[in-house]
Structure 1
Amino acid sequence: MSEVGGSTPGNERIVALDALRGFALLGIFLANIGFFSAWVLMNHDQQLALAPAWVVESWHGIELGLIEAKFYSLFSMLFGAGFALQLDRIDRRGGQGLAVFYRRMALLLLIGLIHMIVVWLGDILTLYALMGFILPLFRKLSEKALLVLGALLVFSPLLLVPLFDAQLSEWTGRTLWAGAFGWLSEQTGTPFMGPAEWIARPDFGSYLAWHGAGPVLRLANLLDGWRFPRVLGCMLLGMAFARMLLLNGRPLPIAALRNAALGGFAIGMPFCLWFAVVGGGPNSVPAIIGTVPLAIGYGAALLLWTSRPGSRLAAALAPAGRMALTLYISQSVFGILVFTGVWGGLATKVSPSGFVPLALAFYALQLLFARHYLAHHAQGPLEKLWRLGTYAGRGKALSARPAEAA
C-alpha cells in the first residue's frame, strides 16, 4: 500500500489533522455568516431586493449543496478524532485521566454557554461538550463497531423524521419557539416581527433580549434538526478514523484516503446537489444521505493534499487548526460586531456578494494572526485558558500538544 510520509510520520499526521481543522473553520464561517448577516432568515423577496436573481439562486445552490451541515459534520468528526487521541492516552495510563477529561468537557461546556448567551446563539461548543461527556462510554468499542454505530446515528433521521418529526416540530414550535418569541415581545413591549428584523433592530434592549432567549432558541434549533444523534454519530466516526489513521504508528495511507475521498464524493455529491435543487430543509432525504459522506470526501481529499511532506497548504492552515477554539469564537465576535443592528448594522443590508468577501478576508487575517501568534506562543489564548482551567491547582505542565487542539 502506498503511504504518505517519510521519517516523521507522526508529526506529518498531526499537522495534516490541524490543517483539516483549519479548513473546517472556513466552511463553518461561510455557513454562519449567512445567519450573522440575516440573509438566510430573510424571505425570497427581501433577498431579491438586495441582489440580482442569479446571485440569490447561485448562492442558494452553493450554500445548500456544498456548505450547509457539511462543515459542522466534518468538525464533529475532528472533535471525535481529538477525543480519541485523548482517550488513548488515558487508556495507556490505566484510565487514570478520565477525571481530567471530564473537567476538560465541563470547561468547554462553560465556554460554550458563555459564547451562546453573550456572543451568538448559534454556538456549537455546548453540544460538543455534552456529547463529549458520553464519549468515554464508547472507548472500548472496536473500530468496526464505532463505524457501524456512528453510521446508524448519522442516518437515524431517515427513520426518526417520518415517525416523530411532526410531533417534535409541533412541540418545539408551540413550546420553545413560541415561548421564546413571546418572551421577546414581553421584554421589549413590541410584537415579534421575525428573526431577521429582530437582529437588525438598533436598540440595545432588543439585543439583550435576543441573547437572553438564545439557549431556548438554540435548543429548539438543535432538536428540530436532529443534531444530537447526528453530531454524536459524527464523533464516533471520527474516533474510528483516528484509530485507523492516527493511532497505528504508520504514515497516512494514500490508497485508503483516495478511496474515502472518491467514495465520499460519489455518494455525497449527487444527493447534496439534489438537495440544492429541490430544497426541503436539513431533514429531507437527500440532505440526510448526502451530508456526511460529502464531509468525509472533503476531509479525505484535504488530508491527501496536506499530509505530503512540505505541503504549503498544510503550513498555511495548520496554525488555524491549532487555535480553532480562539478563531471560532472570534468569528462569532466579528459577525456580531459587523452585522447586528446595535453594532455594525449590516444585517439585512448586504447580499452574498458583500458578506462572502468579508468572510474570506477575515479568515485570511485569521490565518496570518494564527501563524504569527503561534510563532511566539505555544497555544492560542483561549486554548491556554481552557488548559489552565482543566489543570488548575494540579501542577500539570501547560506545554501545548498539537493533538490536543481539538
Structure 2
Amino acid sequence: MPKITSLAEPTQLHERILVIDILRGFALLGILLVNFTGAEIARTGRLDDEVRRLLDFLISSKFYTTFSFLFGLGFALQLLRARQRESRIVPVYLRRMVALYLIGLFHAILIWNGDVLLYYAAMGFLLILFRSLPQKLLLAFVILSLAFEFWTSLPSSPSMKISGLLPSRYTPEMEQQKELDRTLDYEKSREAWQNHTLSTRSGTYVEAVKARFQVWITGRDFLWSYFWATAFAMFLLGLYAGKKGIFHDLVRRQRLLRWTMWTTLPFAFSLNLISAYGPYVLGRFYQQIPDWGFSLLYVLAGPLGSLFYVSALLLLFVKSERWMRRLSFLRWVGRMPLSIYLMQSIIGTMVYYGYGLGMYSRLSYLVGLLLTLAVFALQIPLSRWWLSRFQFGPFEWLWRSLTYGKPQPVLVRRVRPAEPT
C-alpha cells in the first residue's frame, strides 16, 4: 500500500487517474485547434469556409468547457485526498489559486492576451464556497449558472458590471451618467483591443507587451462576459462528478455514462449543426430564429458537446482496454497541461505576431489546421521525454513550488533493484 502523505505535499504519481490525464490531453488538443485557427487566420476561399465550419461544429466552445469540468473534478479529488489525510484543504487551495493567478498574469501580459488562467483562478476562489454543498444542490447551481449566462447573452440584458446588478434608487441624471460611463468603458476597451491588434501584426515585442497590459487594464470585460458563467457551471458539474465518485469506478457507472451520452447526443448535434451550418440546414427559417433562440444555442451547444465527448470517451475506455491503450499517448500532455498550454501560446505568438514570423492573417484555415496538428504531434514525444526525467512539467513545478512555499523535488525517483544476498 502506498504511503499516504500530508496535504502539505503535492499529489504523487501513484495518486493520478489515467483517464483524467487522457481527457485533459484531449481537451488540450481542442483548445489548441481553437486558438491556432482564430482571428489570426485568413479567409481565402470555399475550402477554408468548410474547414472553419467543421471546426465550429466539432470543436468550438466544447473544450474550454471540458477543461472547466476537469478543473472542478480535480478540486473534488483534492477534497477527497484531504479527508483521507485528515488535513485542511482551504489554506493550500487558496495559495494554489493565488499562484495560478500570478502565472496567468505573467501569461496575459508577456505572452498572449487570450489567457484563461486568470479567470480559472478567480472562479477557483469562488468554487471553494461550494465544496460542502450536497450533490443535488450543486446540480441546481449548475442550472442557475447556465440560466444566468442565457440571461446575460440576451440583447436586452443589462450591463454586466457589478454596479448594474445591485439594486439602488436612480435619478434620471444618475441613469444618464451610468450610460455614459458604460459607453466610455466600451470605447476604452475597443481602443485597447485595436491597439493590441496593430501591435501584434507589425509591432515589436515591447510594443505588444504594452498593448497587452493596456488590454488587461481596460479590456478584460470582453473575455470575462464571453464565457465565465458557462465555465463556472462546468466547474460545478466537475465538482459534482468528483463527489459522486464517477471516475473512481467507471465500470459501475456505465448506465449513467450511457444515459449522458445518448441524452446529450441529439441536442449537441442539433445545436452545433445549427451553429455551424445554420443557413444551409434551415434555409430561410434561420433568419426567423428569435434572439432568445440564438442565446439558448450559444449557452448550451458547448456544454452539451463537452458532456457528449467526455461520456463517450469514458464508455469507450470501459468497453475496450485496447482503445485505452491507443489513446494513452494523450496522457503525456495531460500530465503537464499548464506547460503545454503556455508552450502553445509561445509557439502561436511566434508564428502569427509581427515580432515572430508575422503570419497574422496570412495562413489559410487548412494550413492553420495542419500547423496545429504538427505542433501537438511534437508536444506529445516532448512531454514523454520530459516526464521520463522529471516528475512535473516546468510550470507545474513552478505552480507547486509557489503553492507549498518551497522548491519541490522535480527529478523522477528511480528505484534501484535490490542486490542479491
TM above 0.5, yes or no, is: yes
Residue 62 of structure 1 deviates from its aligned partner by 2.1
Query: Is 1:297 aligned to residue 297 of structure 2?
Result: no
Query: Is residue 368 of structure 1 aligned with residue 381 of structure 2?
Result: yes
Q: Deviations over 1:17-51 (max 9, x none)?
A: 1100000000001111123x613xxxxxxx44xx2
CA drift of 1:362 comes to 0.4
- In 1, the alpha carbon distance for the partners of 2:344 and 2:321 equals 30
- Counterpart of 1:260 in structure 2: which amino acid? T
Q: What does residue 102 of structure 1 align with?
A: 94
The 2-side partners of 1:55 and 1:196 are apart by 26
Identity across the alignment (%):
29
The equivalences for 1:28-67 within 5 A come to 28-35=31-38, 38-39=40-41, 47-48=42-43, 51-52=44-45, 54-67=46-59
Distance change in 2, residues 1:254/1:338 (3 Å): same
Q: Secondary structure at the match of 2:50?
A: helix
Q: Return 90-99 or 321-330, whichever deviates more.
A: 90-99
Cα distance, 1:110 vs structure 2: 0.5
Amino acid at match of 1:38: E
Distance 1:258 1:218, change over 3 A: farther
Alignment of 1:277-292 (within 5 A): 277-278=277-278, 284-292=295-303
C-alpha separation between the residues in 2 aligned to 1:64 and 1:97? Answer: 39
1:404 aligns to what? none
Residue of structure 1 aligned with 2:188, choices 158, 171, 179: 179
* Residues 289/123 of structure 1: CA separation in 2 closer, same or farther (3 Å cut): same
Residues 33, 359 of structure 1: 8 Å contact kept: yes
Corresponding letter in the other structure for 2:22? A
Aligned counterparts of 2:293 and 2:48: Cα–Cα separation in 1? 19
In the other structure, the counterpart of 1:153 is: 145
Task: Tell me how far apart the structure 2 counterparts of residues 370 and 164 of structure 1 sit (CA, whole Å).
Answer: 47
Measure, in 2, the Cα distance between the counterparts of 1:364 and 1:173: 45
CA distance in 2, matches of 1:13, 1:293: 26
Indicate the SS of the match to 1:284: helix
1:375/1:361 Cα in 2 relative to 1: closer, same or farther (>3 Å)? same
- Residues 197-219 of structure 1 show CA distances to partners (whole Å, capped at 9, x for unaligned) of 54312444542332222314652
What is the alpha-carbon distance in structure 2 between the residues aligned to residue 29 and residue 382 of structure 1?
18
CA distance in 2, matches of 1:116, 1:218: 12
Q: Which residue of 1 aligns with 2:131?
A: 139
Partner of 1:240: 240
Matches within 5 A, 1:220-369: 220-225=221-226, 227-246=227-246, 251=251, 253-278=253-278, 284-307=295-318, 308-309=320-321, 311-369=324-382
The aligned residue for residue 416 of structure 2 is none
Q: CA RMSD in A?
A: 3.1
Per-residue displacement from partner, 1:88-119 (whole Å, max 9, x unpaired)?
A: 22244445232111111110110011101111
Change (3 A) 1:223 1:246: same
Corresponding residue number in structure 2 for 1:3: none
Cα displacement (A) at 1:172:
9.3
- Distance (whole Å) between structure 1 residues aligned to residue 58 and residue 238 of structure 2: 20
* 1:344-368 Cα shifts (integer Å, max 9, x gaps): 1001111111111001000011111
**Aligned residue identity for 2:359:** L
For 2:181 and 2:304, the matched residues in 1 are separated by 29
**Alpha carbons of structure 1 residues 173 and 360: separation in structure 2 relative to 1, 3 Å:** farther
Q: For the Cα contact (< 8 Å) 1:374–1:380, is it kept in 2?
A: yes
Deviations along 1:107-157, whole A, 9 cap, x unmatched? 011001110111111111111111111212111112222122113212422
Displacement after TM superposition at 1:281 (Å): 12
Distance 2:411 2:135 in 1: 30
Look up the match of 1:124. 116
Contact 1:157 1:283 in 2 (8 A): no
TM-score (norm 2): 0.79
In 2, Cα distance between equivalents of 1:114 and 1:205:
14
Question: Secondary structure at the residue paired with 1:179?
Answer: helix
Give the structure-1-normalised TM-score. Answer: 0.81
For structure 2, the 5+ residue unaligned runs are 1-12, 162-178, 280-290, 413-421
With over 3 angstroms needed to count, the CA separation of the structure-2 counterparts of 1:163 and 1:55, relative to structure 1, is: closer
Task: Give the conservation status (yes or no) of the 8 Å contact 1:154–1:292.
Answer: no
Report SS of the residue matched to 1:213: helix
CA distance in 2, matches of 1:353, 1:196: 23
SS in 2 for 1:378: coil
In structure 1, C-alpha distance between the alignment counterparts of 2:408 and 2:19, rounded to whole Å: 27
Residues 260-284 of structure 1 show CA distances to partners (whole Å, capped at 9, x for unaligned) of 2222222212011111134999973
Q: Which ranges in structure 1 are unaligned for 5 or more consecutive residues?
A: 1-9, 40-46, 185-191, 401-406
CA distance in 2, matches of 1:136, 1:16: 25
CA apart distance, 1:183: 5.5
Quick one: distance in 2 between partners of 1:305 and 1:31?
Answer: 25
Q: How far 1:309 moved relative to its partner? A: 3.6
How many residues end up aligned between the 2 structures?
A: 370
Shift in CA distance, 178/278, structure 1 to aligned 2, threshold 3 Å: farther
